Amino acid sequence: MFTENNTNKLLNDNLLKEIRGYLGKEQALMERGILLEPDTNKKYYTGYDYKTLYDWDQYFEAIIQIYMGWPSDYIKNGVTIFLDHQQADGLISRSVPSNIYHDPEHVKPFLCQTILLIEKHYGDLDWILNDTYYPRLKKYMNYWLEAMDSNGSGLSEWMSAPHTGMDNQHERAGWWGDRVSEGVDLNCYLYLELIAFTQLAEKYGKHEDVDTFREHASKCKDAIQHLLWDEASGFYYDRNVASGEPIRVQTIAGFMPLWAGVCSPEHARRLVEEHLQNEDTFWSPWPVATMSRSEAGYSRTTLPDDLGCNWRACVWIPTNYMVYHGLKRYGYDQVASLLASCTQELVRQAGNREWYDAETGEGCGLDPFWGWSLLAHFMAYEEQHPGEPNPQLELK
């Protein structure tokens, strides 16, 4: 039996029970994703049959575990496993186990946001706010702010397209080790992570850290607004590290300021009306395309040197999920509801797959897949319960 502080607060919600019933088969598949990490002897959950714990995946997989009524153990372990593998300078490689490609690529900034998910739904922080893990969280944050901002612009940098998680968007983020892109998506994630860290620091009584990292968050927001927005086209672009010029490739990363809440109402309007709802760009037959349909690189097949995942003429559920929440944040409820409906219908028709063809709706990649794509099934619940599941992250 789970202890009280390990009990999911959403366990008895009737609509969630219905969705879990629909996903009965996936519950058994998900149990295949419970694995033992040999270095730490901790059990964790992954959506991948090839037994890898990935950085941003675990944030979205945490939401799925919460909605499925699972205890918090695997989510907590996913966070601490990364922290247990931290190097002396603060670097944490973005996958466990790592490899020569992932070794220099710092874990994406979702750890603190995952911790606040755990607190909201299970009411527990003692496992992380202690003398072992809090200092590691702070070093991890500082690595993003210092080591990954080589030109001092106030914007952190991706090491490669695979580092972004959008593996083959090479036009905007380069190949392995290129380090060419101050990513709009990265800095939006980092902005939210900075706010999440200030909340943790406040709960732990580290008031100097609260002030310091709140200031970092404010500077990050300003840099996104002033350095990554392009007034002429009404879109947010990544920025070239060396030249400071925008990398004019339109991808779904340009909508992440909606998710983070960093854009003005007017910028949000232009993003939604001129780009998201535009059938020539992002509103594909099955929305939302992860690269604009107007881009030369928009393709339903991967490039010869790619490793298999396609982030071009395709739909990925976690990015749809972030766009959905961004629309809700800025009051575009009707568009958000339409996107939620399309996303759920896509997955119910094509099955739980790793990604989907934006033109045909065909399921692609891993089959079966029990990772973050399951988020689509819970969007109906979130339509009825605004504010779930994420903690409110606003700069005070």
At 181 the three-state DSSP class reads: strand
Which range has the worst mean pLDDT, 50-54, 102-106, 305-309?
A: 305-309
At 392 the three-state DSSP class reads: coil
Question: Distance from first CA to last CA of the chain, Å, rounded?
Answer: 39
Confidence of residue 305 (pLDDT cuts 50, 70, 90): low
Res 302 pLDDT > 80 = no
Res 308 pLDDT > 70 = no
* Assigned CATH for 4-384: 1.50.10.10
The pLDDT assigned to 74 comes to: 97
Confidence of residue 2 (pLDDT cuts 50, 70, 90): very low
Q: Which residues are bridge partners to 106 per DSSP?
A: 93
Q: What does the pLDDT average to over 304-330?
A: 89
- Distance, in Å, from the CA atom of 65 to the CA atom of 72, rounded to the nearest integer, reads 8
The pLDDT assigned to 303 comes to: 60
The pLDDT assigned to 304 comes to: 59
Unique residue bearing structure tokens 């854009």: 263
Instruction: Give domain limits for the chain.
Output: 4-384
Res 301 pLDDT > 80 = no
The pLDDT assigned to 226 comes to: 97
The pLDDT assigned to 392 comes to: 80
Percent pLDDT > 90 in the chain is 88
Confidence of residue 9 (pLDDT cuts 50, 70, 90): confident
Res 298 pLDDT > 70 = yes
CA distances from 242 to 239, 260, 320 (A): 9, 26, 31
Q: What does the pLDDT average to over 104-108?
A: 98
CA distances from 225 to 219, 229, 262, 268, 290 (A): 10, 6, 7, 12, 22
Confidence of residue 1 (pLDDT cuts 50, 70, 90): very low
Res 3 pLDDT > 50 = no
Res 4 pLDDT > 60 = no
Percent pLDDT > 70 in the chain is 96
Of the candidates 373, 368, 356, 276, the residue with the CA atom closest to the CA atom of residue 317: 373
- Distance, in Å, from the CA atom of 66 to the CA atom of 7, rounded to the nearest integer, reads 10
The pLDDT assigned to 306 comes to: 55
28-87 pLDDT per residue, tens: 889 999 999 999 999 999 999 889 999 999 999 999 999 999 999 999 999 999 999 999
The pLDDT assigned to 169 comes to: 96
114-169 pLDDT per residue, tens: 999 999 999 989 999 999 999 999 999 999 999 999 999 999 999 999 999 999 99
Of the candidates 144, 141, 133, the residue with the CA atom closest to the CA atom of residue 83: 133
191-216 pLDDT per residue, tens: 999 999 999 999 999 999 999 999 99
The pLDDT assigned to 7 comes to: 62
- Distance, in Å, from the CA atom of 359 to the CA atom of 368, rounded to the nearest integer, reads 21
